[in-house]
Amino acid sequence: MDSGLAALLGAAVGSIATLGAAIVNGRAQARSQHAQWSRQHRRDAYTRYLSALHDRDIAMDAVLDALRSERPDLPALDERTDRFVTLAREVHRACEIVILEGPESVADAAERVSDASGDLAQVMRRMAENARAGDTTGKSEHIALAAERERTLYQAVKDFRLAARSTLGKAE
């Protein structure tokens, strides 16, 4: 083989190797950028969800405070309940995005928060109905049950945070 042909073959092999390396590096960079984009979308969804939960929980505490009162102020209770319901809808909307963004472990944790929230809301609803009817029988039991359900809800929120942190790569 003459030296010109050998040089040409060497240049072709070098070019192909360089091109192959560029393709591999480009794909790796694209995967990395996509993973970062996906992480950011998840982070945004989880942040919106936790923010909506926080706002809803403040409204929930206001309703519970009104219900624990010896004689609840019914117009104030209705106003607080309306605010709570509005914010609960925001939580539901934010939860749907979390479920879409995934992964399944985080979606499951968000659904456990929803279940715990629903359980507490049922107790609050019974308490409000009793307050409107002037029925104080069982009030202490309802208050105790609400406190238990509230602890369950806060544990579910804590579990959601841990699942989200783990997904975002910030597990401890």
pLDDT digit string, tens, across residues 115-166? 999 999 999 999 999 999 999 899 999 999 999 999 999 999 999 999 999 9
DSSP notation for 106-132: HHHHHHHHHHHHHHHHHHHHHHHHHHH
Cβ neighbour number for residue 19 with a 10 Å cutoff: 10
Q: Which domains are delineated in the chain?
A: 42-167 (1.20.120)
- Give the pTM: 0.78
Distance from C-alpha of 146 to C-alpha of 35, rounded to nearest angstrom = 41
DSSP-derived secondary structure letter, 70: S
49-85 confidence digits (pLDDT tens)? 999 999 999 999 999 999 998 889 999 999 999 999 9
Place of tokens 């579990």: 159
- Torsion angle defined by CA atoms of residues 139, 145, 149 and 150, in that order, rounded to the nearest 10 degrees: 50
Distance from C-alpha of 160 to C-alpha of 166, rounded to nearest angstrom = 10
Asked whether residue 31 carries a pLDDT value surpassing 70, the answer given is no
Which of 31-35, 39-43, 59-63, 148-152 comes out lowest in average pLDDT? 31-35
